Amino acid sequence: MLTPSLFYLANLLFCLAYMVRDMAWLRAITILAATSTLPYFYFQSAPLYSAIGWQTAFIIINAINLTILLLQRRPVKLDEQEQWLQSTTLRLLKPRKMLRLLRLAKTHEIPAGEPLIHQGQKLNALLLLLSGKLSVQVEGQPRATLKPGDFVGEMSFISGQLTSADVVADEPARYLEWPADALDRLYARDSEIKDALQGALGMDMASKLARQAT
């Protein structure tokens, strides 16, 4: 009597699993449901080993995927600089995605007075200023000042054209540099990062326009 009831319960659990939208819950309930079928198959007049084998395979597959999902959902630890980026320029990216993006970047430092970008060059990179101050000049005329958290070289990165201005360090500066081809490869692999980074670039340009208007 107990085993048919367990089998009935297992099927109800399968129904519930197919109703939930969260993948971790779906897998957890499926494991429970599949486990509940095992006594029913075992305590038949002749144990149904083939059914037991298949249910065990489903349990193992779901358990492996559930473990991977839960590991991916662990909270991530961010250092001070990462926390700052997460609350400012890269806030559209989830922390784990942001770390994935940051792993592709190299950090550079330049002294005051040093040029970072020459007008008309093929930059093939996207930069993000971490500290210091940069001035943007066209034909020697000042156009804008860039502060920590601003992207640099984003115009040529987006358009694929040559750089639109000279960019010079007003004070010692530290910045991140992503090679454009590494970002292209990441874009192809992870559309969530692509959408979030494109959103961040849009917000960056909007804030530069707003600064220019004041």
Ligand X SMILES: Nc1ncnc2c1ncn2[C@@H]1O[C@@H]2COP(=O)(O)O[C@H]2[C@H]1O
Instruction: Give the H or E element holding residue 62.
Output: helix 49-72
Could you count the other beta carbons within 10 Å of the beta carbon of residue 178?
Answer: 20
Interaction residues for ligand X, span 42-81 (CB under 6 A) = none
CB 162 within 8 A of CB 122: yes
Other C-beta atoms closer than 10 Å to the C-beta of 200 total 22
Among 26, 33, 123, 200, contact with ligand X (rule: CB under 6 A): 123
Asked whether position 152 contacts ligand X by CB under 6 A, the answer is yes
Options 31, 105, 167, 197; binder of ligand X; rule CB under 6 A: 167
Near ligand X by CB under 6 A: residue from 33, 38, 90, 117: 117
Q: By CB under 6 A, how many residues form the interface with ligand X?
A: 16
Strand-pair category, 115-117 with 141-146: unpaired
Distance CA 7, CA 59 (A): 16
Contact 132, 149 (CB under 8 A): no
Which residue lies nearer to ligand X by CB, 100 or 133? 133
Q: Which is nearer to ligand X, 83 or 124 (CB)?
A: 124
Q: Is 208 in the site for ligand X (CB under 6 A)?
A: yes
Q: How far is the CB of 181 from ligand X (least distance, A)?
A: 16
Determine the Cα–Cα distance for residues 24 and 20; give it in Å rounded to an integer: 9
Distance of closest approach, residue 199 Cβ to ligand X, in angstroms: 17
Q: Which residues bind ligand X (CB under 6 A)?
A: 117, 123, 136, 143-144, 152-156, 163-165, 167, 208, 212
